[in-house]
Amino acid sequence: MSIRQGLLALLLDGPQHGYQLRQDFDGRTGATWPLNIGQVYTTLGRLSRDGLVETTGDDDDSLKLYALTAAGRAEVEAWFATPVQLPDRPRDELAIKLALAAETPGVDLAAVIQAQRTATVEAIQDYTRLKTEADPDADLGWLLVLDSLLFQAEAEVRWLDACEQRLARPRQPRQASQPRATRVARAEPEVRA
């Protein structure tokens, strides 16, 4: 997903100023993904260039009122209708970390797993607390975002449990020359600079 689609979605409600869009985006997603005003205006500029929004009012960025064009409306409707594909999501640093820890002598994989589990459960505690503080009627969008974060974190803990169970099984020593081309090709580990 990009800021583009987020802003187009907000404009379905009617024309808005850039600063309103930024506030709305924060409000509806509970500031899960904070935007700065510069990003908002840059993105609006591109949307305008591409014919997805049109502006009325002053030339000054802060006074311009942005509205969806027919093409913009079609684009955002298509976005809502299209499921997000798993491979579109960012690479999972944690999976790569554990994969490396598993094969690196001297790294205590069980300790790496437990440290992660503790951190993830702490995140779950925090999300749960935020959820209890939210207003079930006024903050519906925010609650859905929190639920999403909670389910993702829960899935991570379950995956860690599965890693640990796998770890507890006796291992066959691997033959050094055994090719692992398919695995490498699929994982395409990308090391961040």
Partner 1 sequence: MMIETVLSMRDVSRVHGSAAAAVQALRGVNLDVAAGELVAVMGPSGSGKSTLLNLAGGLDSATSGEVFVEGTLLAGLSKSRLAAVRRRSVGYVFQELNLIPALTAAENVALPRELDGLSSRKARAEALDALREVDLADLADRFPDELSGGQQQRVAIARAVVGPRRLVLADEPTGALDSVTGEDVMRLIRGRCEAGAAGVVVTHDARLAGWADRVVFLRDGRVADAAGPRPEPEALLDGAAR
Q: Which residue has the tokens 């689609």?
A: 5
**Could you say which of 12, 31, 63, 167 contacts partner 1 (CB under 8 A)?**
31
Task: Tell me if 105 contacts partner 1 by CB under 8 A.
Answer: no
79, 5 Cβ separation under 8 angstroms: yes
Q: Please, which residue, 56 or 125, has the CB nearer to partner 1?
A: 125
**Total residues at interface with partner 1 (CB under 8 A):** 33
Query: Closest distance between partner 1 and the C-beta of residue 35, in Å?
Result: 10
**Touching partner 1, residues 43-102 (CB under 8 A):** 90
Q: Please, which residue, 56 or 152, has the CB nearer to partner 1?
A: 152
**Touching partner 1, residues 154-183 (CB under 8 A):** 154, 157-158, 161, 164-165
**Could you say which of 65, 67, 109, 124 contacts partner 1 (CB under 8 A)?**
124
C-alpha torsion angle, residues 9, 80, 34, 60 (rounded to 10): -20
Q: Which residue has the tokens 């976005």?
A: 79
For residue 44, give Cα distances in angstroms to 28, 37, 73, 153. Answer: 19, 11, 14, 33
Q: Please, which residue, 165 or 177, has the CB nearer to partner 1?
A: 165
Q: Is 68 exposed, middle or buried (0-12, 13-18, 19+ CB in 10 A)?
A: buried
**Residue span binding partner 1 (CB under 8 A) among the ranges 7-15, 25-33, 58-66, 98-106:** 25-33
**Residue span binding partner 1 (CB under 8 A) among the ranges 14-22, 37-45, 113-121, 179-187:** 113-121
44, 66 Cβ separation under 8 angstroms: yes
Query: Closest distance between partner 1 and the C-beta of residue 160, in Å?
Result: 9
| C-alpha closest to that of 29 among 48, 68, 3, 67 | 3
For residue 93, give Cα distances in angstroms to 130, 187, 191. Answer: 26, 11, 9
For residue 68, give Cα distances in angstroms to 41, 45, 56, 76, 96. Answer: 15, 13, 11, 10, 41
**Could you say which of 78, 129, 144, 166 contacts partner 1 (CB under 8 A)?**
129
Summarize as ranges the residues that interact with partner 1 (CB under 8 A). Answer: 30-34, 90, 114-115, 117-130, 132, 149-151, 153-154, 157-158, 161, 164-165
